[in-house]
Structure 1
Amino acid sequence: MPDLGSERRGVLGEAVLLAAGLADVLVDGLGGVVARGRAVLGRSDVAELADQGHREVLARGRVVLGRFAVEPAYLEIVARHVGARGDRAGG
């Protein structure tokens, strides 16, 4: 697998978080979102609300992905430590 630049990984990671957060919002209740949307239309600080909404969706995405995250296997962690120790000893 080619190594993606950190900037691209950040953009892809944010896209995944946004998708997961939006899915959680939809599952949580589309009716509530519609009611909030109607309330937003009459407000003057729509840009600030959109920014807050973006941050909230990202946070929800982190929570959703955190629920399903798989931690690295124990042997994988041990292998990384041994590999790092080997690099220091050989260097």
Structure 2
Amino acid sequence: MRKIILFGTGKYGLEALDYFGSDNVAFFADNNVNIQGSFIRDIEVIAPSRLNGYADNAIIVLAAGYSICTQMEYQLKSMGIEKYVVYRYLREHLAS
């Protein structure tokens, strides 16, 4: 199974980490430069600019509120990354 990269370290990022399990998550990615290079629950936080190196081998999950996810989608597309999933959409579909 491919590892997951959670884009977002806030409320939904932590919820997604609990949902997927830390064994399945390779990294967090976050735009906040103050936390890049740190660890949250033993998982490294990387800069989104590093995602290109992992996009083909991992599943990028956007873990934020809907309006922030829209910004994340734009950011990823501007980097040439088209494959990602929005955590809240995924949870809604799996719960129904």
Q: Whose Rg is larger?
A: 1
Between structures 1 and 2, the one with greater strand share: 2
Asked which structure has the greater RCO (Cα within 8 Å, sep 6+), the reply is: 1
Q: TM-score, normalised by structure 1?
A: 0.26
TM-score by length of 2: 0.25
